[in-house]
Amino acid sequence: MTAEYKVDGAVAVITLNNPPVNGLGHSTRSAIVDGVRRALDDDKVKAIIITGGGKAFSGGADIKEFNSPKAQAEPTLHTVINVVENATKPVIAAIHAVAMGGGLELALGCHYRVAVAGAQIALPEVKLGLLPGAGGTQRLPRLIGLEPALNMIVSGNPVLSEKLAKSGLFDQLIEDELVPGAIAFANKVADVRPLPRVRDKKIDYPNHEAYLQFSRNTVRAVAGPYPAPLKCVEAIAAAVVGPRFEDGIKVERALFMELVQSPESKALRHAFFAERAASKIPDVPEDTPQRSIKSVAIIGAGTMGGGIAMNFANAGIPVKLLEMKPEALEKGLATIRKNYENSMKKGKLTQDKFDQRMGAISGTLDYSEIGQADIVIEAVFEDMKVKEAVFRKLDEVMKPGAILASNTSTLDVNQIASFTKRPQDVIGTHFFSPANVMRLLEIVRGEKTGKDVLATAMALSRKIKKVGVVSGVCDGFIGNRMIEQYSRQAGFLLEEGALPEQVDKAIEKFGFAMGPFRMGDLAGNDIGWYIRKRRYVEKPEVTYSKTADLLCEMGRYGQKTSAGWYDYKPGDRKPYPSQVVNDMIVKHSADIGVERRKISDQEIVERLVYSLVNEGAQILEEGIAIRASDIDMVYLSGYGFPLFRGGPMFHADTVGLPNVVMAMEKYARGRHGDAWKPAALLARLAAEGKTFN
């Protein structure tokens, strides 16, 4: 039963019961219609209440039904709302905790609404690239007025019920218990006729055309590549100009259908589901026992160690940072303090919170002080010898059952585990820089990593508000292994005729937050140099453009040396194209005998993005990533891949895999064509007309 029906005196109470948030799935919708009909047929019943059991009134559409035929099956939400709105006895929505999306639209179809304080009220469809498609754009402005409704619908942000007390949305704010209060209200209005219907109200806004035009302009300016916010305005405009309610509903419907088909909305919905899917590990069921994490130790208080520590302090988990030398420890702690002070200056952190967070972090030089921590995360230099010494020591001092994690970005987690007598407790937790900001956390599963350790790390990532994505062990894991191919292409493009600025501009126009060369300057070009030097020895067969090495030989490490691919002015992060660098690139082409040619932006984007796609396919095939959408999540949350394109694998699906393969075949005939052999999985899916996702 997804809704319960009870009668209390002259009032029927329909209580939605579809945990966790009373999503309006097919059976819940049917149960509402059945309940209303039953109440209408019962002469003793004079009024009907719809309320939500458990944690919500209703969170809207049932996400389990998304993209399934059930979502469209009768009774649709439209039908339910029609039944409610046309009922011959008053229907009252009694709201607590959450009334969002379709849940709020259902409430808007009721004759009355009552609520308790603290309920989150929202029409968040725009966040999935859609608009409220069950009358929300038509009814909300009729009830609370044009401006407040437009703000809610275009932003999608929740507003607390008490803040809406005077908006007209609620007929009464209930002080005590919701259902008894709603029943009292129902008895009071039971005989009032005619029944008030939101659809019959008129929107009274003097000079609405001017306001709508102003809204279109502002919304267009901030919507970027997303069509939904402007369509929301258009749907609301239809409610204002009318003339009839049905006309507005038709406009809303048509705009909704357009948005459902838009690639931007498809990408946003993909990302929404991808984030939820990432937390599921096929052979680690949800009820896998977890280890309790109440304290954390971190080895190394450098760039990463400090940022990682802040995540735990922010979540209220005490952290101990261990360093070798007092100066390093002092420096690490001072950086953390400065970061928090900056947040305080920006008004993002109160003194209270500052004290709490700094209070949660302490330093030590002594391993005996961290032995009782529930998890220890190693973030020392990226050098296997150093990691070995640290892990042998951790094996000695850590209590049994402690999780031993490494933040390594390139080293073999299995080998690291082998330095201990408890490889089942060892796992990779690969944070991204700045670790206190970036949402991505790659959770690296070693051959022997225990399932409980994996489940614990996954839950911990949620606790510190990260997107945890599981990766198998390989050089670079999911994200960096793919970016390596992207960087190689970026280098080859320079040799063949492009300059850093053109490459960056082209890929930024595609939607990346930052192109590869600006990114290199930000992260430090010396890091890649260091990794390449190792690769020249370990994998001499892999080729790279020499331009990046030449750049580093010039001492141009990036922003930190005020010179990288671009020139920088002191105190200014703005990149200025650099004549010396561009000359170096052009000369290098001549030195290796490559005749520079004009390269189109399309070629730049395809070569950068498809190099990600091909390596992603390889990673998927090897089982390093569990699913294509995990790869998309890595790129959306850690690498600035444009959200409106849904991640590299989803983008490839959108372009069509046969088209991707065709482009790759073209590039295979060019320089370094060997990089363009399609991964077997990609070739097969393209041939079968299938997609990654």
Beta-strand relationship, 375-378 and 403-406:
parallel
Q: Which is nearer to ligand NAI, 303 or 562 (CB)?
A: 303
| Of residues 446, 455, 403, the one with CA closest to residue 281 | 455
Enter the tokens of residue 196: 């008030």
User: Least separation, in Å, of the C-beta of 391 and ligand NAI?
Assistant: 10
User: Least separation, in Å, of the C-beta of 325 and ligand NAI?
Assistant: 7
Q: Which is nearer to ligand NAI, 302 or 497 (CB)?
A: 302
Q: Which is nearer to ligand NAI, 323 or 374 (CB)?
A: 323
Alpha carbon distance 599, 597 (integer Å) = 6
User: Least separation, in Å, of the C-beta of 380 and ligand NAI?
Assistant: 4
Q: Which is nearer to ligand NAI, 93 or 321 (CB)?
A: 321
User: Least separation, in Å, of the C-beta of 635 and ligand NAI?
Assistant: 16
Enter the tokens of residue 109: 């179809």
User: Least separation, in Å, of the C-beta of 476 and ligand NAI?
Assistant: 11
User: Least separation, in Å, of the C-beta of 335 and ligand NAI?
Assistant: 10
Which of 4, 74, 85, 125 is flagged as catalytic? 125
CB distance 614 to 664 below 8 Å: yes
From the centroid of its chain, how far is CA 91? 38
CB distance 374 to 402 below 8 Å: yes
CB distance 418 to 412 below 8 Å: no
Alpha carbon distance 386, 381 (integer Å) = 7
Secondary structure element (H or E) that encloses residue 404, with its range: strand 403-406
Q: Which is nearer to ligand NAI, 300 or 468 (CB)?
A: 300
550: Cβ contacts below 8 Å, ≥ 6 apart: 584, 588
By CB under 6 A, name the binding residues for ligand NAI.
299-305, 322-324, 328, 379-382, 386, 389-390, 407-409, 430-433
Q: Which is nearer to ligand NAI, 138 or 408 (CB)?
A: 408
451: Cβ contacts below 8 Å, ≥ 6 apart: 283, 284, 288
Which of 85, 105, 323, 378 is flagged as catalytic? 105
3-state secondary structure of 510: helix
Q: Which is nearer to ligand NAI, 315 or 386 (CB)?
A: 386
3-state secondary structure of 225: coil
Alpha carbon distance 131, 140 (integer Å) = 13
Alpha carbon distance 525, 527 (integer Å) = 5
Task: Identify how many contiguous H helices and E strands the chain contains and give both numbers.
Answer: 27, 19
Secondary structure element (H or E) that encloses residue 459, with its range: helix 451-463
Residue 105 appears among annotated catalytic residues? yes
User: Least separation, in Å, of the C-beta of 471 and ligand NAI?
Assistant: 13
621: Cβ contacts below 8 Å, ≥ 6 apart: 679, 680, 681
Residue 447 appears among annotated catalytic residues? no
Alpha carbon distance 453, 458 (integer Å) = 9
The amino acid present at 331, given as its one-letter code, is: K
Give the residue numbers annotated as catalytic, written as ranges: 105, 125
